[in-house]
Amino acid sequence: MLTFKNYNIADWFSFYRIAAAPVLLLLAILNLREPFSWMLLLSFSTDAIDGYLARTLKISSPRGSQLDSMGDQLTLVMGVVGLFVFEPEFMNNKLQLLLIVFIPYFTQMIIAFVKYGKATAFHTYFAKLSAVIQGVFILWALFFEPVLWLFYTVLTVGVLETIEEITLIVMHDKWTEDIKGIYWAMKKRRKEKRKNANPDTE
């Protein structure tokens, strides 16, 4: 059984993002735009910090990957909630497009839960790029105003990243963490096939 002493410093940064979500929701309900924006900025910042710590200190783990993914998803959801609360005109005008774009994302989530019983934690390069662009757009919109070309960039990269996630789910029968992308997954698969075909050659 896991206890609090089993968690490392990177896990605690993920815990912060998870714990910050209801506070962000409360700030949005109270219509406190500035505190919400600064706290969301802090949450996005911890995402970069915990990933760096996990790699540098070599403390990555399946549990940490799941916590990181959960923290990321909650932070993104709170960011979207903030946009609907503080920039309602912009978001409502784009609502139909957002719903269409979210279909692949929810499809990916359903496939992952059906196949693995939990969300993916691939953490691909594309996913990291998508997260950065999402964070930049949301924070810029909250601190200043929404930028249309950045909004469309978020949608385009997000859909492509979701397609990659679905492809990786199809390629992996078992839950796997920290895959750089389709290229690296295919490279690993070819290497394993060669190894199985020639078990005596190491």
CA dihedral 169, 170, 176, 177 (to 10 degrees): -40
Per-residue pLDDT of the chain (202 residues; tens, 9 = 90+): 344 456 666 677 788 889 999 999 999 999 999 999 999 999 998 877 766 665 665 656 666 677 777 888 899 999 999 999 999 999 999 988 888 888 888 899 899 999 988 888 888 888 889 989 999 999 999 999 999 999 999 999 999 999 999 999 998 888 887 788 998 888 888 887 877 777 655 5
* Domains observed in the chain: 4-196 (1.20.120)
The pTM (predicted TM-score) of the whole model is: 0.82
Three-state SS sequence of 94-140: CHHHHHHHHHHHHHHHHHHHHHHCCCCECCCHHHHHHHHHHHHHHHH
